[in-house]
Chains A and B, each alone.
Chain A
Amino acid sequence: MKLLSSIKKELILASRGFYFYVELLFALVILAVLLFAIPQNFSHITTEYLYFNLPQQGKEIFINNILEDDPDAKSEMAEIEAGGKTFDAELIVTDESKIYIVDSEETVRILADSEKNLGAVIELNENNQLYYKYYLQGYESTRFKNLISILFNESTEVLEDRINNQEVRPLSTAYEPLTDRENTIPPLIAFSGGLMGMFIMASYIFLDKKEGVIEAYAVTPSSVWKYLMSKIFVILLTSAVSGLVIIMPVMGLRINYGLLLMLLLATGFFASTLGLLIASFYDNIMKAFGVIYLLFFILMVPCIAYFIPGWDPVWVKIIPTYPMLQGFKEIILSNGDIVYPLIASTGFLAAGIVLFFITNIRFKKTLSV
């Protein structure tokens, strides 16, 4: 009963404060960005500069091959401005790349250098075999350099034919990939909703300390954990509402909202209790914020792994944001795994309870100070 009354009181106070509305506004802005600024799928078009140091016939064979590979490819004359000079080129735009065919190796070199794109010269060696000279920036990985070194040792047609005949056996065919827009949702809700709770909880506590609310609490019959829980509840409500504001218009009724709410609340609870625990060690908000900021940056590292599929070192997986992001991803995936978000929610809830327990003990000792 006292808990309910504390929660009610906190909600009334929050509704009069600035923070609650900032959160809602923030969620609406993120939603607008998602709907209007982020395309369904990002364009991954690369730019290349090529010079065919070959007889005209050989050059035409290459150009025709490029055009045949992509029926939608278009060829036109273009001008490229770089380093204060203008270069004429034949531009072929395919689904994957913009290929500028220029008339000298020097032009390839200048363009690849100034525009920081890949350049290549195709010519014949002394044995009358095709020979490729690549212009790279220097930061490309050795593995990438190895690959392009041998990529054209075998004829493209032969390779393509073999690749098409290569058997691929998926362990499951039920997966439907997310669009790039949908794929950006998990990091947005994890950071905007759940993890911001760390900052807000710390702010709440120091604000109450400063205003003397804490001392006043010490002489009431209500216990410390109820006071802390009522604060956490406001954060949970805010992060759940802002999470739903972001997700609902994008995902519609395609996802399991029960699971989503469970993970939103569990991660919010975990982040809030973490914020509380950190706040309990400091007597001033600046110091607490300092530690929370540092933690926040560490928690951001799994975002890199999230967006770069091939980079997934083991140490990243033990950072709590990793299961957070993967859990949200599973929820918005059609035919996503139900068990993973459930396990993740249970884990965050359990970790939150442990942190809350420790925090409660710490605050019992320090709140009245």
Chain B
Amino acid sequence: MMLKRIWIIFTRDLKVNTREFMAIYMMIIPLLLAVGINFLSPGVNDTSVNLALIKNENPGQAAYFDDFAHVELFSDEQRVEDRVSRRDDVIGVLPENNGYYIMTQGNEPGSVIEYAKLLNVLYESDVRLEDARSEIIEFGRTVPPLKKMLVNMLLLLISMLAGMLIAMNIVEEKIDNTVSAINVTPISRRAFILGKSLTGMFVALFSSIAVLLITGFYTVNLGQAALVVFSSTILSLLIGFIQGLNSDDVMEAAGSVKLMFLPMAGSIAGYEFVTGNWRIFFYWSPFYWAYSANDMILSKSGSWPELILYIGIILAICGAVYALLAPRIVKGLQH
């Protein structure tokens, strides 16, 4: 009986949401972003040094540099200087006294200048690709780390958007006074919560799987990914629901969403940039565990026990948050 009522709320919610722009939008926007990641990723991964040379001054040199760097050609020295002076990091390699000197703007990172110097020295030392005394053995990983990071961020964002969808739904329900009306129906508050959550969960699962497929992660364990999305969405829904119930107007809900971004962004930064024991400071954040679990799945490096541990931690934190905020949810539903 209870399940049937939850199902009724879910199907009703789904029907209402498909008529609304937002739910459709929340399903489509991650897919567009996934296409965007596919578009951006190769260019960013191919990042090297950008060199500016004089056209036809030494075509052999330009062809040589092209194997190692992005090369732009200009008609004369002044135009090379103009290009170097612009805001991005482009290094000029200009002829003088039977040799070449490096022209910089003065604000480039040291690594960029060192790379340009090295290339010029290799060229002047006549070190050729065809003379290479080396071989490269690859492990066949084609997804660059940046793409993996962006996809992981997108997966977390999807669960955030799902939470927001619930929050906005609740605010609307409050405005329409349907929340109060629930109290005089046979549907319990818990059933109402679950029913409302299922729509967000459905949106999150659909979008996450689609994002993984679009971005080329079709060989990852989709079942594992679905489990992580499911668990991290529970937290987002919880926060979304609490926001929805405690926000009297959309301004408050919008402000709360901004606050929600903070632990998410912090957790990603913590995982990516913090090393060693300092990571302990991020253990409280379920987003940290969700990001770690996603990273494991996307890298195809994790085991089931590890994944279950991460999901367990996420769910335990969600449980603690629920236990802490359950009175507020009940209170919110009474008004």
Contacts and interface: CB of A to CB of B under 8 A. Distances in A.
B266 A33 contact: yes
B47 A171 contact: no
Interface in B72-90: 81, 84-85, 87-89
B106 A173 contact: yes
B142 A139 contact: yes
Interface in A281-336: 284-287, 289-290, 293-294, 297, 301, 304-305, 308-313, 326, 333
Interface stretch (A71-79, A155-163, A352-360): A155-163
B321 interface: no
A369 interface: no
A312 B89 contact: yes
A144 to B, nearest CB: 7
Given A26-B259, A173-B106, A301-B40, A153 B131 contact: yes
A172 B106 contact: yes
A286 B20 contact: yes
B254 A203 contact: yes
Contacts of B144: 139
A217 interface: no
A168 interface: yes
A137 B70 CA distance: 23
Which of B68, B129, B275 has most chain A Cβ within 10 Å?
B68
Nearest to B275: A43
Given A26-B262, A113-B139, A134-B134, A166 B22 contact: no
A294 B249 CA distance: 23
Contact of A308 (B47, B131, B138): B47
Contacts of A131: 133-134
Contacts of A26: 258-259, 262
A297 B134 contact: no
Contact of A175 (B106, B120, B256): B106
Contact of B48 (A43, A114, A144): A144
Nearest to A136: B138
Contacts of A313: 43
A167 B101 contact: yes
Interface in A127-141: 129-139, 141
B143 interface: yes
A271 interface: no
A167 B275 CA distance: 37
A145 B88 CA distance: 24
Given A210-B249, A297-B36, A136 B136 contact: yes
B46 A171 contact: no
Given A139-B145, A146-B68, A169-B102, A309 B108 contact: yes
Interface in B95-111: 101-109
A320 to B, nearest CB: 15
A163 B21 contact: no
Contacts of B135: 132-134
A112 interface: yes
A19 interface: yes
B interface bracket (residues with beta carbon within 8 Å of A): 35 or more
Contacts of B273: 42
Interface residues of A, number: 86
B104 A134 contact: no
Which of B85, B118, B254 has most chain A Cβ within 10 Å?
B254
Contacts of B250: 203, 206-207, 210, 285
A368 B302 CA distance: 58
A170 B105 contact: yes
A134 B20 CA distance: 54
Interface stretch (B25-33, B181-189, B203-211, B308-316): B25-33
Nearest to A304: B44
B103 A297 contact: no
A287 B22 contact: yes
A171 B104 contact: yes
A177 B105 contact: no
B48 A143 contact: yes
B325 interface: no
A200 B145 CA distance: 34
A33 B40 CA distance: 28
B127 A150 contact: yes
A97 interface: no
Interface of B: 20-22, 25-26, 29, 32-33, 36, 40, 43-50, 67-70, 81, 84-85, 87-89, 101-109, 112-114, 117-122, 124-125, 127-129, 131-145, 168, 175, 249-252, 254-256, 258-259, 262, 266, 269-270, 273-275, 299, 301
29 contacts: A22-B256, A23-B255, A33-B266, A42-B273, A43-B275, A109-B137, A125-B133, A131-B134, A136-B138, A138-B140, A147-B68, A149-B129, A150-B132, A150-B134, A154-B127, A163-B114, A163-B117, A168-B113, A168-B117, A169-B101, A174-B106, A204-B251, A207-B249, A207-B251, A284-B21, A287-B22, A294-B29, A297-B29, A310-B48
A-B complex: 9 closest residue pairs judged by Cβ atoms: A170-B106, A312-B88, A286-B22, A175-B107, A132-B134, A22-B255, A138-B138, A149-B132, A290-B25
Given A158-B125, A310-B112, 17 more contacts: A133-B134, A137-B138, A138-B142, A141-B45, A143-B48, A146-B129, A147-B119, A148-B136, A162-B124, A163-B121, A171-B81, A171-B84, A171-B104, A173-B106, A284-B21, A290-B26, A290-B29
